[in-house]
Every structure is written in structure tokens, then in C-alpha cells.
Amino acid sequence: MNQTPNCGPDLPDPTAGRESRRVWDSFGRPTGRKIDAATLRDVTITIPVLNQAHYTRECLETLRRAGIADSQIVVVDNGSTDETPTLLAGSPELVVIRNDTNRGCGGAWNQGVRARPANWTVVLNNDVLAPPGWLEGLVDFAEREHFDIVSPAMFEGDADYDFPRYAIEFMERMGRVKRPGVASGACFMVHRRVFEKVGLFDDDLRLGGYEDDEFFRRCRKAGFRVGTTGGSFLHHFGSITQKAMKAALKKPKASLGDREYYRKKYHLTWLKRHVWRLRRSLQGTWWRWTELALHGRTLSVRRLNGVFQWR
């Protein structure tokens, strides 16, 4: 089902105030809860990169406009050969880790977690745009609803719409909407207690492309709560680095890791995989139609050829 967004009238600025930042509810009204500056400073943003300097520049610029200091951001460069090293060198407050070779997502994520330990760590792709209020929305939802791993709502694909305005309107309207049990590898926030219990990410290169799924699987098994919130929002262009790597291999549809190794490691038989897919499909259908009926949009959207595809 496709639907054109209604951005509505001019909206209040949710980033007003520097000592604390107000959280807005789904009707655009203050919730009465503010995220204090100390809480937001105890968040680390970890971004693995491999070339694609244009996307990295845009990502960093939107994070800064959202009020996130460079000193909170760890960029792990997995051996870029384009202008990425020069771009990062121009921002001395960033925490930059340079790898001579590609250590994969898992290895880069672990480097970021170790480089700047924090109460919350956000793992973020470099091909995203972040609006003001997105981090406050993640932290507020996680603490208010007692979740341990949280992802924002996400639009994927073309950024041919009024992103800043739409993002604010979306977070106001969808602030109380959630999808328990699911998260996205493009952006997810993890509490310190999770790493202390289940350990860091698996950096085995055979898991290329499955590092997020493997981590979420371990966390759910350990009893941690995973979820996605409409109180936070990002635009994701869509796995730009992975697509570039596959294109270089001339295998655009290939897996970057060893799919069979991953399946054997977790005993993911044909039956288990298909039962899981069926459950996810039924749950996704229920979420999609419920969210559309109540709010006119969904937490997962693809933007293609000027059209919103609700998922």
C-alpha cells in the first residue's frame, strides 16, 4: 500500500535547550520527560566505514546538527582507499581508528565499543541521515519501556522528500508505536549490561553480513529485550558499502559471509528457518496494517521512485 505523507503545519523544535532535551509524544505535545545532557553524553556512536566518503560526510553533518559532539563519535575505517582518511583527519575531535585491512563489521564494532565505553553504544551505518531528536527518542524509549537493544524507525532508499520536516512530524505522530522483538543492523543502540553478559560482537569474517543477526540471536536467548521505536527516526540509503563490495566481486546478490557456516553454528535447519520466516511474515503483516490503520504510516518504509512503500 502506498501513501503520500502529510507533513502538517509548522512544528515545534524538539531540540530546544542545551542542558536537557525535551521528548515529544505522538501528538506533538511535550511528554514532561526530558533527557538530561549527562545521559546523552554517556552515549557512544560507532560507525564502521569502507570508502563511500560522500555518505560518511553527510552522516557526520546530520549527527552534528542533531547536537552530537564529535568526541562521542568513533569512526572505524576498515582500510578505505578513497578520500575518507582525509575527511576524517579534518575533524580532530572525532575518535578515529584506522585499520590497514577490512576487519569486517563485527571487528570494527568491537573496536568502537572498546575505544569509548559508555552506558549506551549506538552502532550506526555511515549511509544514514539523522534528524534532531533521534538519539533522545532512542534513549527515552529504552529507559521508559525497559528495552536493552533498540532501533529507530527507518526509511530506506531514495531521500527525495523533505527529510528534516518529515522526520520531526513522524517522530511526533509515531512516538508511542513500537515493534518488540526486532531491530535493524543499520542502527541499533545497546546497553552496557548486554555486553557484560553476552560479550561483544562475533568478529569471525565468515559471518560477514550476519553479524547483527547473530548478536540479536544471542541477546534474545539471554533474555534481553530487543525492539524498534517510532520515537526515533533515520533515513537509510540502503547498505551502500555492502553493495559496493558485492559489485567489486561481480556478485551483486551474493552473501559476503558463509551462510552455511552461520546456519550450522546455530543449527538453523530448513524447518526452523521457514517457521521463523512465516512467523516474521505474519507479525510484519499485522504490524503494517495496524500501524497504517491507526497512524497512516509504518515504522519500516522503503522509498522508491517517489513512492512510499509501507512494510
Read off the pLDDT of residues 63-102 as tens digits, 9 standing for 90 and up.
Answer: 999 999 999 999 999 999 999 999 999 999 999 999 999 9
Q: At 89, is the secondary structure helix, strand, or coil?
A: helix
pLDDT of residue 238: 81
3 pLDDT tier (thresholds 50, 70, 90) = very low
161 pLDDT tier (thresholds 50, 70, 90) = confident
Strand pairing partners for 119? none
> Rounded to the nearest 5°, which phi and psi values hold at 54?
-60, -45
Which residues, 6+ apart, have CB-to-CB distance to 134 below 8 Å? Answer: 66, 152, 167, 171, 232, 233, 234
pLDDT of residue 198: 96
pLDDT of residue 17: 41
**pLDDT of 200-250, one tens digit each?**
999 988 887 889 999 999 999 999 999 999 999 999 998 666 555 544 444
DSSP 268: -
Distances (CA, A) of 250 to 57, 240, 244: 27, 15, 10
pLDDT of residue 167: 94
Is a pLDDT exceeding 50 seen at residue 18?
no
Give the containing element (helix H, strand E) for 31. Answer: strand 30-36
pLDDT of residue 14: 36
* CA 13 to chain centroid: 22
> CA–CA separation, 240 vs 303, rounded Å?
15
> 175-189, 196-210, 261-275: lowest mean pLDDT where?
261-275
171 pLDDT tier (thresholds 50, 70, 90) = very high
Q: Which three cell numbers stand for residue 11?
A: 512544528
| Runs of H (alpha helix) within 5-79 | 37-41, 53-65
Residue 207's identity, in one-letter code, is: L
165 and 28 Cβ atoms separated by less than 8 Å: no
pLDDT of residue 159: 87
One DSSP character per residue, 217-259 reads HHHHHTT--EEEEEEEEEEE---HHHHHHHHHTT-TTS-SS-H
24 pLDDT tier (thresholds 50, 70, 90) = very low
pLDDT of residue 254: 55
Regarding pTM above 0.85, the answer is: no
Query: pLDDT averaged over the chain?
Result: 85
pLDDT of residue 72: 97
188 and 30 Cβ atoms separated by less than 8 Å: no
Higher pLDDT, 198 or 238: 198
Higher pLDDT, 17 or 197: 197
pLDDT of residue 77: 96
Domain ranges of the chain: 20-310
CATH of domain 20-310: 3.90.550.10
188 pLDDT tier (thresholds 50, 70, 90) = very high
pLDDT of residue 239: 62
Distances (CA, A) of 175 to 18, 23, 276: 21, 9, 28
Return the beta strands (E) in 40-135 as ranges: 43-49, 73-77, 95-98, 120-124, 128-129
Which residues, 6+ apart, have CB-to-CB distance to 73 below 8 Å? Answer: 44, 45, 47, 60, 63, 94, 95
28 pLDDT tier (thresholds 50, 70, 90) = very low
Identify the CA nearest to 289 among candidates 311, 271, 264, 305.
311
> 8-12, 47-51, 252-256: lowest mean pLDDT where?
8-12
Strand pairing partners for 154? 234, 300
Q: Which three cell numbers stand for residue 260?
A: 552455511
pLDDT of residue 253: 55
pLDDT of residue 191: 98
pLDDT of residue 308: 83
